[in-house]
């Protein structure tokens, strides 16, 4: 069994005939490998970014990812356990960096620009990986993406700084504007108020929305190509192109939803909490409806691809919703809140391919995949109702202790 599953920004996954005789359950362990590593590091990394340097924490995580990419071809032939253990950690600290740089008046638009670049990476990797595997073997893809990570890491260290006050290339006017807008206190004063964080219903509503978004995202990143190949019977070269389509539309809709959300906020025609609720509803109920409809179109490949594109496009609305609400709740503890949410997100990233593998193991049938889609639709929809009741944009009292 030949495969490609690239971590970091997440290349798509391809399975074909070859040297690894893995069943669906074993594949699910491999697919979730990077998330196992991230579960162990995401909380500590986010907290260290809050207290130390988000710039350096991101750089270290990308370096670790690059090394893991280079090791995969050797470890895959040696031991599945070693392969799974090697696939960690992803960068856990971007929210701490954003909290220092993104003023509220530009926050939603900027997050759309940042996150949409991930879709570009997924488009390129999904489109190229199948052809590269068919022509040169799956090992080349890991070496290629590992090298790209090293180049990106070097550029990151040259261009990025922890906060405006440490950046040598911006004007004093811009520095004063950002620092005045974000109202973030110095790191040296921070001791995380864990009792307040863990007992806050608003925090858990925020976490639940990240769970929904992550489940849909990882279903696409790890299982879409598998479904296209084994149920719709696309050739691997065509699978890469078709698997890239949802990410292409995801890129466009992420930008669109984030800009629209910021526009609504600036016009003050809808209060911020209701803006979040509207976009969260599209991001969760839209994919749930599309996933419920998938089994009903049987093997109509055109309708199936259209529904997959629609589901991914709807999930992009989360970038116009509460994706950055930890900055509204507690700007001084964004790292801690992101670490908490990130731990649950990576648990979901483990659970999505493992649940899929358990359901479809030795059952690559439409009925088995229907079970996967129905379960995913429930996981996608429920957090919206949690946020509808418990979501908040009010600064929490423990954010600025006396």
Convert the pLDDT of each residue in 274-294 to its tens digit: 999 999 999 999 999 988 888
pLDDT at 88: 44
User: What contacts 86, CB < 8 A, 6 or more positions away?
Assistant: 33, 37, 68, 71, 72, 75
Tell me how many degrees the CA angle 186-322-190 measures, rounded to the nearest 5: 15
Say yes or no to pLDDT of 5 above 50. no
pLDDT at 17: 45
pLDDT band for 40, please (50, 70, 90 cuts).
Answer: low
Domain chopping of the chain, boundaries:
2-179+194-399
pLDDT at 14: 41
Tell me how many degrees the CA angle 102-107-109 measures, rounded to the nearest 5: 125
pTM: 0.78
CATH for the stretch 2-179+194-399: 1.20.1250.20
The pLDDT tens digits for 362-393 are 777 778 888 888 888 999 999 999 999 999 99
382 with 348: CB under 8 angstroms?
no
Provide the mean pLDDT of the chain: 79
- The whole-number average pLDDT for the span 237-247 is 65
Say yes or no to pLDDT of 346 above 70. yes
pLDDT at 7: 46
- The whole-number average pLDDT for the span 307-313 is 85
């Amino acid at each position: 069994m030949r495969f490609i599953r690239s971590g970091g920004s997440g290349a798509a996954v391809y399975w074909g005939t070859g040297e690894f005789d893995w069943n669906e359950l074993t594949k699910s362990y491999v697919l979730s490998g990077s998330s196992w590593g991230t579960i162990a590091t995401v909380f500590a990394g986010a907290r260290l970014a809050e207290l130390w340097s988000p710039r350096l924490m991101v750089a270290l995580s990308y370096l670790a990812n690059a090394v893991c990419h280079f090791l995969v071809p050797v470890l895959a032939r040696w031991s599945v356990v070693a392969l799974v253990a090697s696939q960690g950690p992803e960068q856990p600290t971007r929210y701490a960096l954003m909290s220092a740089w993104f003023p509220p008046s530009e926050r939603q638009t900027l997050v759309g620009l940042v996150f949409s670049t991930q879709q570009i990476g997924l488009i390129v990797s999904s489109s190229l990986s199948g052809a590269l595997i068919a022509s040169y073997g799956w090992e080349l893809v890991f070496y290629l993406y590992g090298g790209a990570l090293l180049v990106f890491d070097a550029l990151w260290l040259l261009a990025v700084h922890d906060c405006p006050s440490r950046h040598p290339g911006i004007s004093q006017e811009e520095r004063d504007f950002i620092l005045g807008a974000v109202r973030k206190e110095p790191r040296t004063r921070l001791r995380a108020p864990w009792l307040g964080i863990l007992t806050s219903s608003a925090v858990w509503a925020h976490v639940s929305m990240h769970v929904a978004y992550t489940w849909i995202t990882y279903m696409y990143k790890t299982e879409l190509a598998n479904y296209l190949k084994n149920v719709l019977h696309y050739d691997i070269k065509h699978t890469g192109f078709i698997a890239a389509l949802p990410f292409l539309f995801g890129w466009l809709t992420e930008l669109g939803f984030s800009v629209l959300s910021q526009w609504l906020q600036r016009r003050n025609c809808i209060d911020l909490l209701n803006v979040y609720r509207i976009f969260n509803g599209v991001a969760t109920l839209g994919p749930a409806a599309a996933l419920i409809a998938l089994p009903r179109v049987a093997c109509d490949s055109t309708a199936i691809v259209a529904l997959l594109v629609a589901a991914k496009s709807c999930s992009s609305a989360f970038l116009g919703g509460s994706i950055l609400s930890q900055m509204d709740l507690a700007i001084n503890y964004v790292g801690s809140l992101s670490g908490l949410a990130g731990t649950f997100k990576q648990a979901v990233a483990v659970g999505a391919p493992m649940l899929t593998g358990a359901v479809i193991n030795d059952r690559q049938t439409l009925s088995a995949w229907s079970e996967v889609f129905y379960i995913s639709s429930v996981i996608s929809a429920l957090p919206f109702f949690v946020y509808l009741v418990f979501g908040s944009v009010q600064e929490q009292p423990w954010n600025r202790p006396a």
